[in-house]
Amino acid sequence: MDHDILHYARKRHTTKAYDASKTIPDETADKLKELLRLSPSSTNLQPWHFIVASTPEGKARVAKSTEEKFPFNSPSIHNASHVVVFASKLAVSEDFFAEILDQEEKDGRFDAESDDIKTERKTGMDGARKMFFNIHQQGMKDAQHWMDKQVYLNMGQFMLGAAALGLDTTPMEGIDTAVLDEEFGLREKGFNSLAIVCVGYHDPQEDYNAALTKSRLPLSTILTEV
């Protein structure tokens, strides 16, 4: 197995056409879902929700978001094996803060030799998370944008991870997020969709982007070493 992550970073490309006859095996799909769960986020806030469409009906529902304004994106949604909708939280409640803290406790994050130390660790984490959130909520007034950024980070990890699993992906902002929100009742659930990622196996004949060389600015332009 090739563990050279650069190999996958180079191999990953925006797939322009999928082989509709190929389906991601369940075991691999489970790994993809686990990638979504394992992504880092600032203060471990995990301000996201995902909709995974793998049936023709499910994918057709997602494709409603491209039909009018972005029809060039529709075939990839129908023909990919799976499509993931990346949605971001609209607001954070006290209950949600408590839910994350409880999960961290269950996962053993605060385990300590005494109850006092455990309580101190737990209270410290809760306070730090709320402090960061409030910097964005009350100070910078960009809490929603800040949460969106966490979701995009997840998307990046997801695509590289999918490439390492031998899969092809297409990130798409060419979707009408209002249509998606409506279709899946996302706003009522406290989320809004940001983008989608199609995942599957490309059609080597039709996926013209696979044969094109990658184009990126040189390091001398984008990086400063000090």
Beta carbons of 84 and 191 less than 8 angstroms apart:
no
Under rule CB under 6 A, residue 69 binds ligand FMN: no
How many residues form the binding site for ligand FMN (CB under 6 A)?
11
Q: Which amino acid is at 2?
A: D
Q: Give the range of 22-30, 44-52, 165-173, 177-185 binding ligand FMN by CB under 6 A.
A: 165-173
According to the binding rule CB under 6 A, does residue 7 interact with ligand FMN? Answer: no
Which helix (H) or strand (E) covers residue 160, if one does? helix 143-164
How far apart are alpha carbons 125 and 109 in whole angstroms?
A: 10
> For the chain, what's the residue count?
226
Report the residue from 126, 149, 174, 176 that binds ligand FMN according to the rule CB under 6 A.
Answer: 174
- Residue 110 C-beta: closest distance to ligand FMN, Å: 36
The answer to whether 157 contacts ligand FMN (rule: CB under 6 A) is no
All residues at 6 or more sequence positions from 169 whose CB lies less than 8 Å from its CB, including other chains: 12, 14, 15, 158, 159, 162, 163, 197, 198, 199
CB of 175 to ligand FMN, least distance (A): 7
Query: Does residue 200 contact residue 76 with C-beta atoms inside 8 Å?
Result: no
Does 200 interact with ligand FMN (rule: CB under 6 A)? Answer: no
Rule CB under 6 A: choose which of 166, 173, 189, 204 binds ligand FMN: 173
Specify the residue, 127 or 204, whose C-beta has the smaller distance to ligand FMN: 204
